[in-house]
Chains A and B, each alone.
Chain A
Amino acid sequence: MKQIQLSHGGGGEETNSLIHDLFYRYFGNDILIAAEDAAVLEVKNKIAFTTDSFTVSPIFFNGGNIGKLAISGTVNDLAMMGAKPLYLSSAFMIEEGFSFDELETIVKTMAEELKHSGAKIVCGDTKVVPKGAVDQIFINTSGIGEIEKEGISANNLHEGDVIIVSGDVGRHGAAILMEREGLGITGDIQSDCATLWPAVQALIDSNITISALRDATRGGLSAVLNEWAGQSKVCLEIEEASVPVDEAVQGICELFGFEAFDFANEGTFIIAVPQHHAMLAIQALQDIDVTSNATIIGRVTMKKEGKVILHSLYGSSRYLDLPKGELLPRIC
């Protein structure tokens, strides 16, 4: 089994072959293969710039791998600002002895994922470190996008806005939890890991007003709603029964006493739009595969500034707070 050696990160012949045989082969574009010290880029408008590092464990999970996350994660951060993802950098930190085949799978996945947004990897870096210095492989991606719609901000929610969720919540967190040692459970939960740019583009193209967009990553739906309530100084009132949750995700929550609203997502986002644009937003989202189950879950009011209220179907309400602490199962 071919393995990555320290020499692959040394800057010499082995590094060159790795870059050519693997990275250029799959990521290949004019800017990248020009192989300069830095990529020279041109953009017409304001840009959005983001970075993220990926250390997910396990690196291969049901529904994706660290490579897919590394691309969709950064591309989505740009999309959430109304920016078309254009150029990415990608830096790999690889533990010596890592399987070449696994690296190739990860890189191939990244190339596939890039196609969903059309973004290109224009520069990169590879380091190989001694055993134990990283846990198998870490990836950092930074991204530049060109702003196509300005004014989208967590500070921008207004009374009367409608809150929409792009799909069912909690699948990524639940999928990773399934793989965790010691839980002793099996089941088919696929991470929702996906590129969201096409859905955001559909929203922009529909010419509606967009108050805010955010992908519900760590901390899940709860975190996004609370951040918005806090930053815009409004109240978010959510109909609990309208938030879609996959049955198996619900199963894990029952078994271990978790809340699906607290689980991470990697391909689901929350949208706030003025009331009169809500239906147009839903229609635009439902036309795109990854957001075909988009649904309205609540609205913005001034009932209790900074708080998120969950309403039940039978007339009671409670606050939805930020999730806290480690995920531990409830017992007795």
Chain B
Amino acid sequence: MNRLQLKDLYSGFRDPDTIKALAWAINDETKKLKEPLKIMEVCGGHTHTIMKYGLKQLLPSNIDFIHGPGCPVCIMPKERIDHAIALAQIPDSILLTLGDMIRVPGSKSSLALERAKGYDIRALYSPLDALKIAEENPDKKVIFFAIGFETTTPMTAAVLEQMVKRGITNLYFHINHVLVPPAVDAIMADGQAKINAFIGPAHVSVITGAKIYKSLPEKYATPVVVSGFEPVDVMQSILMIVKQKNEHRADMEIQYSRSVTLDGNTKAQKMIEKFMKPREHFRWRGIGDIPLSALELREEYAAYDAEKIFADILPTEPIDDHKLCICGTILKGLAKPNDCKVFGTACTPNTPMGSCMVSSEGACNAYYRYGEI
């Protein structure tokens, strides 16, 4: 019995010869395409893969990528980043968040700059660390600024579960978890981006199941292929999309079959539902308000809800981006990073004007790091 090695799960899906073979098959199949393909890869991680492995260089010119809003740090409007800063400035507090949030610019400052001033702000590698920090600092208000799409939301829920179990009372949550399908619907409703196919997120789908995309082909007559993150996965997904187009189909297909099922991780889904519910309104950078596109803590957990407990210090006014920053337009799929006047000049990962440049899932960051040759 040919047993799989762990390294096969990496090298097998990055194999150069396989990438070449898929490129060859795509180029062959694309000859029959009637119209140019504009594929939106929803997820920032897929943008990253496409840029890092230079996949566009292997594809014919009638396949173009439209970068989607799948970067949970990028889509947060400045006022919510200011929330994080305001929470960090509460006396006797410890502000915790996941890595990328630290350097994102708010309206006047960033968590990194505030940390340099002496506020206790820590980047966690796992939300689980919040429990330990809360227990070790019983006299502090420990606030976890939770970000992420559906992949990361269950982890926050698991921490909430542990918190209740362990009777921790000094841990608060500021929930900024967002959902993929409403964002995709909002971009399609906008209508400008002219998308005619989707590469669906990999790990969001592991949690939610591919079932959440079933309505997309019906609504928009577009193929949706749920793809893994490795270059072979993305290339195979593109091949599957081209084939669908040539066969005049618009179906939801799973390329990432080794990890994605139709139903997903129901235990994780139930844990999310236990603690969180969709919130009526949430402003997305560039896109504006999308109803029911984000989550908040349920009423029975109001005692841990930082947005309620610390409401009096949280800013409420929406704040727009810098005039020259076109993050919002890029997130809607209407521009590419190199269309931006300040890309690479005033705006760089060290001096970011918008979060798309500083977040490692951001399109601008991917373009800057891997450069267009």
Point out residues on A near B: beta carbons under 8 Å: 182-184, 241, 254, 256-257, 304, 309, 312-319, 321, 324-326, 328-332
Assembly CA distance A316 to B98 (angstroms): 33
Chain A CB within 8 A of B168 CB: no
Q: Indicate if the CB atoms of A330 and B58 lie closer than 8 Å.
A: no
* Cβ-neighbour of B371 out of A321, A324, A331 (below 8 A): A321
Q: Closest residue of chain B to A254, judged by CB?
A: B10
- Identify which of B57, B103, B151, B152 gathers the most chain A CB atoms within 10 Å of its CB: B57
Q: Indicate if the CB atoms of A332 and B149 lie closer than 8 Å.
A: yes
**Extra inter-chain contacts (20) besides given A331-B99, A332-B361, CB under 8 Å:** A184-B125, A256-B125, A309-B373, A312-B53, A314-B19, A315-B20, A315-B23, A316-B53, A316-B57, A318-B52, A319-B371, A321-B369, A325-B103, A328-B102, A330-B360, A330-B361, A332-B98, A332-B100, A332-B151, A332-B152
Q: Indicate if the CB atoms of B54 and A317 lie closer than 8 Å.
A: yes
Question: How many contacts between A and B, using CB within 8 angstroms?
Answer: 79
Chain A CB within 8 A of B51 CB: yes
Residues on A with beta carbons closer than 8 Å to the beta carbon of B349: 324-325
- Identify which of A183, A241, A331 gathers the most chain B CB atoms within 10 Å of its CB: A331
A263 to chain B, nearest CB (A): 16
Chain A CB within 8 A of B148 CB: yes
Complex interface residues of chain B between 59 and 107 (CB less than 8 A to chain A): 72, 98-100, 102-103
Q: Closest residue of chain A to B352, judged by CB?
A: A325
Residues on B with beta carbons closer than 8 Å to the beta carbon of A326: 103
Q: Given A314-B17, A316-B53, A316-B58, are A331 and B148 neighbors across the interface (CB < 8 Å)?
A: yes
Q: Closest residue of chain A to B147, judged by CB?
A: A332
A248 to chain B, nearest CB (A): 12
Q: Indicate if the CB atoms of B98 and A241 lie closer than 8 Å.
A: no
* Interface size in chain B (residues, C-beta < 8 A): 39
Point out residues on B near A: beta carbons under 8 Å: 10, 16-17, 19-20, 23, 51-55, 57-58, 72, 98-100, 102-103, 123-126, 129, 147-149, 151-152, 348-350, 360-361, 368-371, 373
Q: Indicate if the CB atoms of A329 and B125 lie closer than 8 Å.
A: yes
Q: Indicate if the CB atoms of B99 and A316 lie closer than 8 Å.
A: no
A-B contact list, 21 entries, CB within 8 Å: A241-B16, A304-B373, A309-B373, A315-B58, A316-B54, A316-B58, A317-B57, A318-B373, A319-B370, A319-B371, A319-B373, A325-B350, A328-B99, A328-B100, A328-B360, A330-B99, A332-B72, A332-B100, A332-B148, A332-B151, A332-B152
